[in-house]
Amino acid sequence: MTKVRDLVRSDRCLTVRMISSVLNLNRQTVHEIVTFELGMQKICAKLVPKILTKEQKENRRNLCLDLLERIENDKKIFKHVIAGDETWTLEYDPDTKRQSSEWHTSNSPRPKKARMSKSKIKTMVLCFFDNESFVQKEFVP
């Protein structure tokens, strides 16, 4: 049991199959040691969105309040609006949720993982749309 515990603590991403092959034990035995005797379970990393600053939150709130006021004054305002947005898309090869899973006890904190890691290849996407559909979209390298 101590060998299994030490091995899991050295690399929490190891699978039961990997542990059993390293220690030359039966997979079922390793599974029972990890889950029942050590009280661990395999959990996936929690994906968290980008966190906004207080200033960014306040700016969004003020813009929304201004828009609500304009809508109350003119109910047909959206028929005259063309909105645009741009975003950078990055090429990356992230781990899947299953690949990021680790062994933890029920008392240990859940690991966190960023949704996206930056890469060197970027493309900007420009989108323009009205209240019915896309007006135009462009991919700019």
> What residues make up the domain containing 84?
39-140
Domain count for the chain: 1
In a domain, 110, yes or no: yes
In a domain, 2, yes or no: no
Whole-model pTM over 0.85: no
Could you identify the residue written with the tokens 């063309």? 82
Backbone angles phi, psi at 125, to 5 degrees: -110, 125
DSSP 99: T
Instruction: Report the alpha-carbon distance of residue 63 to residue 68 in Å, rounded.
Output: 9
Per-position pLDDT tens, the chain of length 141: 888 999 888 988 889 999 999 999 999 999 999 999 999 998 887 776 777 889 998 999 999 999 889 888 888 887 778 888 888 776 665 666 677 778 888 888 877 776 655 566 778 889 988 878 888 888 887
**Dihedral over alpha carbons 50, 56, 59, 60 (to 10 degrees):** 10
Residue 102, Cβ neighbours under 10 Å: how many?
Answer: 17
In a domain, 72, yes or no: yes
In a domain, 26, yes or no: no
In a domain, 10, yes or no: no
